[in-house]
Amino acid sequence: MNEKIIKQELAKLKYTYPSAFKDFTLQDVQAMSVLWLNDFKNDDPEIFKQAIDRLRAKSKYCPSVAEIKSEIAKIEVPTLQLNAEEEFEKVRNAIRKFGSYRTTELMNSLEPYTIEITRRIGISRICMAEDITWIKKEFIEEFNNSLLRSKEILQQNESALTDCEKKEKEKLLATTEKIFKRIGSGLNES
């Protein structure tokens, strides 16, 4: 990331949201670009630009640093866009297809992130639940809480993370690579 890119993207935001920058002086813009350069120094410039463009297209108000970081995280880790209810239904469909005894095949049919949540809940608990309402609620809650935690870790600058969080971030990024490899191999087969 460099200062030129930061200033170009700030200019886009200024022209998209003129009222947000109406009282800004040249010194304010300079100070903001220095601050943003520090905030986004570890982010890929192309992904940063993409995040700004996506936010400009869907947000009525000028995005904050946190909103931009969140959008960058969504672009970098598509897993963060998964829907908990849809993923639970995929688990249920996999159970119907493979049964509770073919767990390896069952788990391999799911997204890596969904596999992790399914393991936490317990495949046998999901299979044997008499009233699926409560287990579904638990799955969705666990899924959404885990997604929120993942977003928070991915939004932080590397220097602000603890060693444990750095390991978790590496694991998240590795999971994303698995997803891209799975998608790539699926495309090659067609």
CA distances from 135 to 15, 98, 182, 189 (A): 48, 19, 28, 36
Percentage of residues in the chain having pLDDT higher than 90: 53
Q: Lowest-confidence range among 51-55, 87-91, 105-109, 182-186?
A: 182-186
- On the 0-12 / 13-18 / 19+ scale of CB atoms within 10 A, 50 is middle
Q: For the chain, percent helix, then strand, then coil, each to nearest 5?
A: 80, 0, 20
Residues 6+ apart with CB under 8 A from 120: 142
More confident residue, 38 or 180: 38
- Structure confidence by residue, pLDDT tens digits, 108-121: 999 888 998 999 99
The structure tokens listed for 141 are 């809650």
What distance in Å separates the CA atoms of residue 144 and residue 33, rounded to the nearest whole number?
Answer: 34
pLDDT in tens, 7-29: 999 999 999 999 999 998 889 98
Q: Are 112 and 83 in contact (CB under 8 A)?
A: no
pLDDT, residue 183, reads 43
